[in-house]
Structure 1
Amino acid sequence: MTPGARAAAAIAALDAIVAGAPAEQVLTRWGRSARYAGSGDRAAVRDLVYDALRKRRSAGAAGGGSDGRALILGLLRLSGDSAGTLFTGEGHAPSPLTAEEAGHQTGPLTDAERLDCPDWLLPLVRDSLGIAAEPALLALRERATVFLRARGDRAAAAASLADEGIATRPHPNVSTALEVIANARKIQSSESYGKGLVELQDASSQGAILDLPLRPGLRVLDYCAGGGGKALALAARERLEIVAHDADPRRMADLPDRAARAGAEIAIARPGELSGDFDLVVVDAPCSGSGTWRRTPDAKWRLTPDRLDDLCRLQRRIVAEAAARVRPGGRLAYMTCSLLSTENEDIVPHALAGPCAGWDALPPRRWQPDGAGDGFFLAQLVRPGAAPV
């Protein structure tokens, strides 16, 4: 595909996404139908679409509209590239610019446009992060760094990856994390990945797992396990009795294979199958995902105040359910990949006033989205009793 044809494909995909279709679904469908597109073409179109979604408001302002054509035009202008080289109308390229498009002048941007944030959400982010709000939102406009979690010797894992042409460097603050600096798209087909030497996991999420106190033999529940990333990271740290649970068991479909690849023993409990209590219950709660919007930028534009309220109610309910599984002296670890206090710090006093009354709350930790990882939050609540975890 020519650069112009890639731009035209990105425009069509963006039109479908702006109309309400999920970005991943649109791109997958296009990739299956565009048999003429090679892997490089598919990657280039994906990059264009996701870059435009990360900068949807500023690109729209620069392009003079909100449809796919305006977003790609605006993206080119934001990057200082000439639109005339792609909007030629030749072959499969987008048609040439109209006089109106060519003459469009970008006026002063509001803060929300400049930071590529929905108007209603900006005050919440500012209230949640204070002076860190603007750096966080600016970081979410850029592509995310790819991190791996090394199982065992990090240096050995890095050397194995290097032998396959995948360059990494160690994270300075997270002892298990490797930042991928070249050939990230080769990871899942690599022998190192196939042997379970590494797993894809963001550095902030790894840091949260490293913050949890563990000792051999603890009974641990990953209550909202999803694909099982937290359970696998826990298993890599210590010999534990780990149970993975999710309200939608389909999310755990790949976990047995992932556990086998990692040499981990993880029991799976479907809804209604949990029994007994646990020394540690990990709740990686469903949330807005605002700390990871670099990776799923269309989610930023789909979030609404009503949806956020629904998520907060769900989080409070899940904490109550999970707390009932913590044995005396045990610990509840509440996590989200959200930037918002309503989903993070505000959940803690609600829990202490209800299902966790009388428990102790440790100082929470926040990770901001930057080159060192995604936005993440961890709160730990300890139930009174003998032999605290």
Structure 2
Amino acid sequence: MTPGARVAAAITVLDQVLAGMPAEQALLRWSRGSRFAGSGDRARLRDLVFGALRQRDSLAALGGSLDGRGLMIGHARRHDMDIAALFSGEGHSPAPLTQAERDHVAPATLPDDLPDWIRPRWHASLGDQAGQVAALMADRAPVWLRVNPQRVHPDSAVDLLQSEDIPTRRADDLPTALQVTGNERAVARSALYRDGGIELQDLSPQLACAALPLRADDRVLDYCAGGGGKTLALAAREPKARYEAHDALPARMGDLPERAERAGVPVRILRKPEGSYDLVVADVPCSGTGTWRRTPDAKWRLTQDQLVRLTEVQAQILDQVAPMVRPGGHLAYMTCSLLDDENDDQVHGFLSRHPGFALVQDRSWTPIDAGDGFYLAVMARRS
């Protein structure tokens, strides 16, 4: 595909997303209807679409309209591209710019690419960092790997990945975390990935898992396990503990047994947890504001009513798991949110309802100091 044809395809997909279709679904629909497109074309199209959604409002201001065409004109202007060549009307390229599009003058100050209703919460939660974090959310997220030390030493992992032309760098404060600095799409084809030596996992949840209290004889429950990434991270750190995973939608854990076997750690899948645990991890459903670089269309779909319902679900989950923590044990509350509504406020509400728990530590990560936005609170149940 020519650059102009990819821009035309992006316009089509973006119009569908702006009309309410999830981005992944719109990209899949285009791919199924465009068998001529190779893997490279699909990857470049995905980058165009996701990049435009991360910077939706500022690109619309540059392009003159909040639609697929306006976003792609804004994209071309932001990156000083040859607009006449991209919008030539030749072949499969979009039609040439109209006189109004050529004459459009962008405002002196561009929008910050945040939904209007969330901006006050964003600034209240992030304080002086609000603007910097919003700007970082407009860029593509880095790719991080978690090395499984039960399979390979981190130093060897770096060398093995380099031998497959996948360069990495070690995280400063976590030896088992590697950032992929090139050829990211080759990771899933690498021998180290197939053999369970590495897993794709953002740096922030890796740091959160590394901060949890964990001993060899602990019984651990991952209550909202999803794909089981945190279960596997903890098991790689302390393989002698006993790990159990549960999710309200068991289908989300469908790949976990295979991943656990590949990683060389036993994990028991539960439909209904019973008994008491030394550590309960509750990575609850949340707004995902910390992951907007990865799912940028979610930023524009989130509503105030949805946020309120999510906070209600979070409180219910915390109340459900509290009795599962044995006296002297710990409850780890996690979100991939940057908002106080889901983080500090939620923890303070739980502690007021459950005076038998005490806050041991809480920590937030943002794209400034880690990867995705992430929150951790560890609470101990008094003996």
**What TM-score, normalized to structure 2?**
0.97
Match of 2:114 among 106, 112, 117: 117
**Cα distance, 1:362 vs. partner?**
1.9
Amino acid at match of 1:335: M
Aligned length: 379
**How far does the alpha carbon of each residue in 1:276-305 deviate from its partner, in whole angstroms, 9 at most, with x for none?**
110000011111111110000000000111
Whether 1:29 and 2:29 are equivalent positions in the alignment is yes
**Cα distance, 1:163 vs. partner?**
1.2
Q: 1:39 to 1:371 in 2, by over 3 A?
A: farther
Instruction: State how far apart, in whole Å, the 1-side matches of 2:161 and 2:267 are.
Output: 26
Whether 1:374 and 2:372 are equivalent positions in the alignment is yes
**Cα distance, 1:55 vs. partner?**
0.2
2:264 corresponds in structure 1 to 263
Instruction: State how far apart, in whole Å, the 1-side matches of 2:78 and 2:120 are.
Output: 25
1:104 corresponds in structure 2 to 104
Whether 1:358 and 2:356 are equivalent positions in the alignment is yes
Instruction: State how far apart, in whole Å, the 1-side matches of 2:122 and 2:199 are.
Output: 31
Alignment identity in percent? Answer: 52
Amino acid at match of 2:251: R
Q: 1:26-175 alignment to 2 at 5 Å?
A: 26-109=26-109, 114-152=111-149, 153-175=153-175
Conservation of the 8 A alpha-carbon contact between 2:64 and 2:101? yes
Instruction: State how far apart, in whole Å, the 2-side matches of 1:380 and 1:274 are.
Output: 20
Instruction: State how far apart, in whole Å, the 1-side matches of 2:234 and 2:176 are.
Output: 12
Instruction: State how far apart, in whole Å, the 2-side matches of 1:199 and 1:92 are.
Output: 39
**How far does the alpha carbon of each residue in 1:125-181 deviate from its partner, in whole angstroms, 9 at most, with x for none?**
100010011111111000000000001111111111111111101011222110001
Instruction: State how far apart, in whole Å, the 2-side matches of 1:130 and 1:371 are.
Output: 15
1:220 corresponds in structure 2 to 220
2:206 corresponds in structure 1 to 206
**Cα distance, 1:82 vs. partner?**
2.7
Instruction: State how far apart, in whole Å, the 2-side matches of 1:260 and 1:358 are.
Output: 37
**Cα distance, 1:329 vs. partner?**
0.6
Conservation of the 8 A alpha-carbon contact between 2:64 and 2:104? yes
Conservation of the 8 A alpha-carbon contact between 1:171 and 1:372? no
**Cα distance, 1:370 vs. partner?**
3.3
Name the SS for the 1:327 alignment partner.
Answer: strand
Q: 1:226-375 alignment to 2 at 5 Å?
A: 226-238=226-238, 239-270=240-271, 273-354=272-353, 356-370=354-368, 372-375=370-373
Relative to structure 2, which stretch is displaced further, 366-375 or 184-193?
Answer: 366-375
**Cα distance, 1:29 vs. partner?**
2.1
Name the SS for the 1:182 alignment partner.
Answer: coil
**Cα distance, 1:213 vs. partner?**
1.5
**Cα distance, 1:114 vs. partner?**
2.6
Amino acid at match of 2:306: R
Instruction: State how far apart, in whole Å, the 2-side matches of 1:372 and 1:348 are.
Output: 22
Segments of 5+ residues of structure 2 without an aligned counterpart are none
Name the SS for the 2:361 alignment partner.
Answer: coil
Conservation of the 8 A alpha-carbon contact between 2:220 and 2:277? yes
Superposition CA RMSD, Å: 1.0
**Cα distance, 1:25 vs. partner?**
1.2
Runs of 4+ in 1 over 3 A off after TM superposition: none
Conservation of the 8 A alpha-carbon contact between 2:59 and 2:75? yes
Name the SS for the 1:343 alignment partner.
Answer: coil
Instruction: State how far apart, in whole Å, the 1-side matches of 2:260 and 2:207 are.
Output: 20
Instruction: State how far apart, in whole Å, the 2-side matches of 1:96 and 1:173 are.
Output: 51
Segments of 5+ residues of structure 1 without an aligned counterpart are none
Relative to structure 2, which stretch is displaced further, 186-195 or 72-81?
Answer: 72-81
Instruction: State how far apart, in whole Å, the 1-side matches of 2:128 and 2:79 are.
Output: 27
**What TM-score, normalized to structure 1?**
0.96
**Cα distance, 1:364 vs. partner?**
1.0
Instruction: State how far apart, in whole Å, the 1-side matches of 2:326 and 2:361 are.
Output: 21
Instruction: State how far apart, in whole Å, the 2-side matches of 1:175 and 1:320 are.
Output: 35
Name the SS for the 1:324 alignment partner.
Answer: helix
Instruction: State how far apart, in whole Å, the 2-side matches of 1:80 and 1:345 are.
Output: 42
Amino acid at match of 1:369: P
Conservation of the 8 A alpha-carbon contact between 1:63 and 1:77? yes
Instruction: State how far apart, in whole Å, the 2-side matches of 1:151 and 1:358 are.
Output: 36
Q: 1:245 to 1:131 in 2, by over 3 A?
A: same
Conservation of the 8 A alpha-carbon contact between 1:144 and 1:371? no
Q: 1:363 to 1:216 in 2, by over 3 A?
A: closer
**Cα distance, 1:371 vs. partner?**
6.9
Instruction: State how far apart, in whole Å, the 2-side matches of 1:80 and 1:5 are.
Output: 18
Conservation of the 8 A alpha-carbon contact between 2:361 and 2:379? no
Instruction: State how far apart, in whole Å, the 2-side matches of 1:58 and 1:8 are.
Output: 20
Relative to structure 2, which stretch is displaced further, 78-87 or 35-44?
Answer: 78-87
Whether 1:196 and 2:210 are equivalent positions in the alignment is no
**How far does the alpha carbon of each residue in 1:215-240 deviate from its partner, in whole angstroms, 9 at most, with x for none?**
10200000000000000001100021
**How far does the alpha carbon of each residue in 1:193-246 deviate from its partner, in whole angstroms, 9 at most, with x for none?**
000110000001100000011110200000000000000001100021110000
Name the SS for the 1:236 alignment partner.
Answer: helix
